């Protein structure tokens, strides 16, 4: 589920895509959004004459305390029992995860992070988020915010990083406010963007020490990032050498939906 479109893919037992359909997201209408998901599933199952397990990536998270949606930039979802409502309508268990977590899972299972122990999957798009996969399992955390580095402050702000920009979350100087697509449009100097991305990812490497960092979202299509950023991050990392790889996604735009499917047994 995204803010502008809802896409469904059906995968067979070997992970091969056998059905795909995309519909616009009903705007600011929770009931219609649930209805759109239910009819997409109905379409696919009629077409394929099979019943499926269902995984869904959402631009938000389910609170570990209440089970209700939180931190969603599709704000009509916030505070709703999306999992319960979908399960009632679809008559089965539904698994839901943050969309960046689904991206990271897809790339960890059979994408750029295949075979790696720890994968940090980054979304550089309208927003900046990330997911962490350890030995094939998504790390969620007790607050359901594992990987949400986009709302950490950008480390070591320099003259050109000031004044600290406002972020929609209410804080100032968030990584997202420098590295999102809209932020890059406001300040389109790629040298500066790469240097900021290197500083921000160095902080991740010092804490998590991932084998692979996979970039996703629109900005991941810029090839020079993969050569330049790993050169720039060295001075900020507490290690004599850095074995962490920075990689483009293997599954591109499809990683979110594929990762949602992988919330079930593989
Ligand atoms: Zn923020």
- pLDDT tens digits, one per residue of 95-118: 999 999 999 999 999 899 999 999
- pLDDT tens digits, one per residue of 5-32: 899 999 998 888 999 999 999 988 999 9
Mean pLDDT of the region 133-137: 95
Give the model's confidence band at 265: pLDDT under 50 very low, under 70 low, under 90 confident, else very high.
confident
Ion ligand 1 residues within 5 Å by Cβ: 151, 167, 169, 171, 174
Q: Assess whether pLDDT exceeds 70 at residue 162.
A: yes
Cα 12 to ligand 1 centroid, rounded to whole Å: 39
The span from the CA of 232 to the CA of 260, in Å, is 33
Cα 146 to ligand 1 centroid, rounded to whole Å: 15
pLDDT at position 266 is: 65
- pLDDT tens digits, one per residue of 59-93: 889 998 999 999 877 778 999 999 999 999 999 99
Cα 84 to ligand 1 centroid, rounded to whole Å: 29
Ranges of beta strands (E only) in the chain are 5-11, 17-24, 54-58, 61-62, 69-70, 94-98, 118-124, 128-134, 137-138, 212-216, 245-247
Cα 168 to ligand 1 centroid, rounded to whole Å: 6
Cα 224 to ligand 1 centroid, rounded to whole Å: 26
Neighbours of 9 (CB within 10 A): 17
pLDDT at position 5 is: 84
Cα 152 to ligand 1 centroid, rounded to whole Å: 7
Cα 56 to ligand 1 centroid, rounded to whole Å: 24
pLDDT at position 26 is: 92
Mean pLDDT of the region 162-190: 94
Q: Assess whether pLDDT exceeds 80 at residue 144.
A: yes
Name the residue among 121, 144, 65 with its Cα closest to residue 255.
Answer: 121
pLDDT at position 13 is: 86
Cα 171 to ligand 1 centroid, rounded to whole Å: 5
């Amino acid at each position: 589920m995204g803010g502008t479109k809802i896409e469904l893919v059906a995968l067979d037992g070997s992970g091969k895509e056998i059905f795909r359909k995309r519909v616009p997201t009903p705007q600011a209408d929770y009931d219609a959004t649930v209805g759109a998901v239910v009819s997409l599933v109905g379409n696919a199952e009629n077409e394929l004459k099979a019943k499926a397990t269902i995984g869904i990536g959402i631009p938000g998270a389910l609170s570990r305390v209440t089970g209700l949606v939180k931190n969603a930039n599709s704000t009509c979802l916030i505070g709703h029992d999306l999992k319960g409502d979908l399960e009632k309508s679809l008559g089965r268990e539904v698994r839901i995860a943050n969309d960046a977590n689904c991206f990271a899972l897809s790339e960890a299972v059979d994408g750029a992070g295949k075979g790696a122990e720890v994968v940090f999957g980054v979304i550089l798009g309208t927003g900046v988020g990330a997911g962490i996969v350890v030995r094939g399992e998504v790390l969620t955390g007790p607050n359901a915010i594992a990987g949400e580095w986009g709302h950490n402050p950008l480390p070591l702000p320099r003259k050109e990083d000031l004044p600290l920009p406002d972020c929609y979350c209410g804080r100032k100087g968030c990584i997202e406010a420098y590295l999102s697509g809209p932020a890059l449009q406001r300040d389109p100097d790629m040298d500066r963007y790469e240097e900021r991305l290197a500083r921000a990812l160095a902080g991740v490497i010092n804490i998590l020490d991932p084998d692979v960092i996979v970039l996703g979202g629109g900005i991941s299509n810029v090839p020079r990032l993969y050569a330049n950023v790993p050169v720039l991050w060295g001075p900020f990392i507490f290690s004599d050498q850095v074995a962490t790889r920075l990689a483009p996604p293997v599954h591109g735009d499809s990683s979110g939906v594929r990762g949602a499917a992988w919330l079930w047994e593989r």
